[in-house]
A and B are shown apart, each in its own frame.
Chain A
Amino acid sequence: MRSRLLRLADVTSGYSGKPVIMDVSFTVFEGEKVVVIGPNGSGKSTLLKTILMLIEPIKGSIIFRDVDIVKLPKSELPRIRVRMGYVPQEGVLFPHMKVVDNVALPLRLALKMSKAEARKKALEYLKLFDIHDLAYRYPAQLSGGQRQKVAIIRALALEPELLLLDEPTLNLDPSSRRDVLEVLYNVAKLGKSMIVVTHEMDVVNKISDKVIAMKSGRVVYEGSFNESIVKEIYET
């Protein structure tokens, strides 16, 4: 049996005491790709932010490897977070830094690489995904799809044990969307454990080992992909 990477047990979380997700429990195994679906406002993004402890859960535990990260002191959290690569909605690059520095900065600061080492690794990763020609541009000079790709690479370069992606194709035009999906599928092939929040049934079809469906802050389905579930949560 594969080892357990992440386990959520009865997690309730939200903003200023108001729960957005309630009693969420599920497990992610090593190498498993979990796709989270559900209508807007069902708590999918909050779920990812809670796993990263960007939002402190109101109750429940989040066991990463063998550690309940909810109980960790705040000062320990950066070291945990860097082991989970996060790709936020719409990428969110640091606008005052060139692409290569966007990728290199966390390597340097969170993984303590030297400036030269971090840059070298950043360039290698950009090359791997064939966008090294963008390395010396600023985020404002990129398209939405390019920004999203850089954000994926920024997370991936940290060589995280788990990758968290929040609606990677949100607000993209069709061709950028295809580009980003291609990157996503290539990343999936690397065998990394992933949690992907998306509305794209194509993603669910192609990469999901497990589907988690959320509605009004609760997990309403956990299992393999089937059409009737999708119908049920989006249409009722």
Chain B
Amino acid sequence: MTITITTLSFSLGFLISSTLTLIRFFGGGIVSIPIKIYIDVFRGTPLLVQLLLIYFGFPSIEINLDAFTASVIAIGLNSGAYQAEIMRTAIKGIPEDQVMVAKALGLKDRHIYLHIVMPQALRNAVPGLVNEFVMLLKESSLASVIGLAELTRIGEYMMSATFRALEAFTIVALIYLLLSYTFYFTSRRVEKRFAIPGFERWVR
């Protein structure tokens, strides 16, 4: 369940951030204002509060979500804001010359975005996105608060069944650690696999 929530909300966040990045690139200054507000609101308030608001608050405006959907949406929206910031920094890292030269060679804006900006930005963003994924893995534990049977909640069940809190949560912590470590390890290998000269700075 923890992995499902993490993967789904990360994907939702990625979808949101990609869309926002696209809008920011092609839109002017005006469209970036609501985007900035979205990012600031979701980064400036606790994820737990966002989760509680969506799960307990939304029913009063006739939006009833089950614990699973509410968790994915809350964590996904939150992650979308963080991922959009990661993408923004990644794009900022591309020298302006690149875009200028691409233009000078007769490339259209959409070509520049697809072939020059994105391939470089995504490579710049990989370390940030990997971090974000692991953060979500851990933050998904908040879903236990609204009763979702994910890893932390299972720890609580174990505790109440055995009255052994130390053992129960040590096991839970170890599983989180194992998951994070596995993910870090795999992503490092993937990075190495796709590394190209000049972009290897984050591959250790």
| A141 contacts the other chain (CB 8 A) | yes
Asked if B106 contacts A88 (CB within 8 A), the reply is no
Contact with B107, one of A88, A106, A137, A138 (Cβ below 8 angstroms): A106
Measured in the bound complex, the distance between the Cα atoms of B123 and A138 in whole Å is 15
Kindly state whether residue B62 has any CB partner on chain A within 8 Å. no
B144 on the A face (CB < 8 A):
no
Chain A positions within 8 Å of B111 at CB level: 109-110
B130 at the interface (CB under 8 A from A): no
User: How big is the B interface, by class?
Assistant: 20 to 34
Q: Which of B4-12, B28-36, B192-200 contacts A (4 or more CB under 8 A)?
A: B192-200
Contact of A96 with B119 in the complex, beta carbons under 8 Å: yes
Using a CB-CB cutoff of 8 Å, which residues 63-99 of chain A contact chain B?
A: 78-79, 81-84, 86, 88, 92, 94-96
A92 contacts B101, CB within 8 Å? yes
A26 to chain B, nearest CB (A): 20
Residue of A nearest to B102 (CB): A94
Is B108 close to A, CB under 8 A?
Answer: yes
Q: How far is the CA of A110 from the CA of B107 in the complex (A)?
A: 6
The B interface, classified by DSSP as helix, strand, loop or mixed, is helix
Q: Does A138 lie within 8 Å of B105, measured CB to CB? A: no
- The answer to whether residues A138 and B104 also contact, given A88-B97, A109-B111 and a CB cut-off of 8 A, is no
Q: Cβ of A96: which chain B residues have Cβ within 8 Å of it?
A: 119-120, 123, 196, 198-199
Q: A78 vs B104: C-alpha distance in the bound complex, in angstroms? A: 8
How far, in angstroms, from A49 to B120 measured CA to CA in the complex?
Answer: 24
Instruction: Tell me, rounded to whole Å, the shortest Cβ–Cβ distance linking A25 to chain B.
Output: 23
Complex-state Cα separation, A26 to B198, whole angstroms: 41
Q: Would you call A211 an interface residue if the criterion is a C-beta within 8 Å of the partner chain's C-beta atoms?
A: no
Question: Smallest CB-CB separation from A101: which chain B residue?
Answer: B115
| B105 to chain A: closest residue by CB | A106
Chain A positions 131-157 with a Cβ under 8 Å from a chain B Cβ: 137-141, 154-155
Nearest CB of chain A from residue B186's CB, rounded to whole Å: 23
Of B106, B107, B197, most A-chain CB atoms within 10 Å: B106
Given contacts A52-B104, A110-B107, A139-B198, contact A105 B115 (CB under 8 A): yes
A220: Cβ under 8 A from any B Cβ? no
| Range, interface on chain A | 20 to 34
Tell yes or no: A212 within 8 A of B by CB: no
Q: Name the residue of chain A whose CB is nearest to the CB of B112.
A: A109
Q: Are A158 and B199 in contact (CB under 8 A)?
A: no
Query: Is there contact, CB below 8 Å, between A154 and B196?
Result: no
Known: A88-B97, A138-B198. A94 touches B116 (CB 8 A): yes
Which B residues are in CB contact (< 8 Å) with A78? 103, 106-108
B119: which A residues are within 8 A, CB to CB?
96
Given contacts A106-B107, A109-B107, A109-B108, contact A88 B101 (CB under 8 A): yes
Q: How far is the CB of B163 from chain A (nearest CB, A)?
A: 57
Contacts of A201 in B (CB 8 A): none
Chain B residue at minimum C-beta to C-beta distance from A88: B101
**Contact partner of A95 among B102, B103, B120, CB < 8 A?**
B120
**Within the complex, which residue of A84, A105, A111, A140 is in contact with B198, where a contact is CB–CB below 8 Å?**
A140
Provide the residues of chain B in CB contact with A137, threshold 8 Å. Answer: 197
Set of chain A residues within 8 Å of B120, measured between Cβ atoms: 94-96
Residues of B within 8 A of A52 (CB): 103-104
Pair A54/B104 contact, Cβ less than 8 Å: yes
Set of chain A residues within 8 Å of B108, measured between Cβ atoms: 78, 109
B100 CB within 8 Å of chain A: yes
Cβ–Cβ contact A158 & B105, under 8 A:
yes
Q: Determine the chain A residues whose CB is within 8 A of the CB of B95 once the complex forms.
A: 92
| Given known A92-B97, A94-B98, A96-B119, contact A106–B197 (CB-CB < 8 A) | no
A168 to chain B, nearest CB (A): 14
A75 to B102, CA, bound (A): 15
Q: How far is the CA of A91 from the CA of B197 in the complex (A)?
A: 17
Q: Which residues of chain B have a CB within 8 Å of any CB of chain A?
A: 95, 97-98, 100-108, 111, 115-116, 119-120, 123, 196-199
- Given A92-B97, A94-B98, A110-B105, list of 16 further CB < 8 A pairs? A78-B106, A78-B108, A79-B106, A88-B100, A94-B102, A94-B120, A95-B120, A96-B123, A96-B199, A106-B106, A109-B107, A109-B108, A110-B106, A141-B197, A154-B105, A158-B106
